Amino acid sequence: MSFIKSFSNLVLTRSLSTRSLHPKKFVSILENVPIKPRNPWQIYLRENINNYKNENGKVELKVATRLMGDKWKALDETEKARCKKIYEQEVEAHNIKKNEALKNATPQQFFEENRLRRKYKLNLIKDPSQPKRPMNSFMYFLQHLRETKDPVMKRGDVKEQATSASDLYKALSEAEKAVRHIINDKQDNVLICLQMIK
């Protein structure tokens, strides 16, 4: 997938020149990743859009999508299933290529890609080889409350549960927090040892 294609929605919403979007020395990590279709309808649209060209050889997108939408709704299930199968194959191909591209990218490439993505307020790409941030003692405390099915964890939504748990955690004495911290460190060391064995 070319860098311009990955930023195509940005070009439509903002008037940015191609030159500012595609620096000469920059190559996107996802350059060779095929575009992921959103749904089977897009496959049907892509296959049949050229049937709706006017006398000038151009497609009036608004009219074509309305007419094709009606046809899509009336389409038999076998044809929809065919489009769905193509959609699933393209999604799988996209995911395989994307994972491969991310796996082979260097930390410097991630840094440069994300710097440009920040500039245009796009989602950042996460390096899959980067280690996860270790849990702190409050997160272990929260996990303990969930595992023991504490009544605090049965209240409301996740935000309310976290707020109630933080109040409980703040109420712990320093000695209790220290003991919990030692237990957490031991658990982390065990996990690290298990990962090294694997």
DSSP codes of every residue in 17-44: -HHHHS-TT---TTTTSPPPPSSHHHHH
Tokens 């707020």 sit at which residue? 163
The C-alpha atoms of residue 122 and residue 11 are separated, in whole angstroms, by 12
| Arithmetic mean of pLDDT, 113-142 | 82
pLDDT of 17 > 70? The answer is no
Task: Name the more confident of 75 and 193.
Answer: 75
In this prediction, residue 181 carries a pLDDT of: 61
pLDDT of 21 > 70? The answer is no
| Arithmetic mean of pLDDT, 28-32 | 85
Task: Name the more confident of 61 and 91.
Answer: 91
The C-alpha atoms of residue 43 and residue 118 are separated, in whole angstroms, by 31
pLDDT of 11 > 80? The answer is no
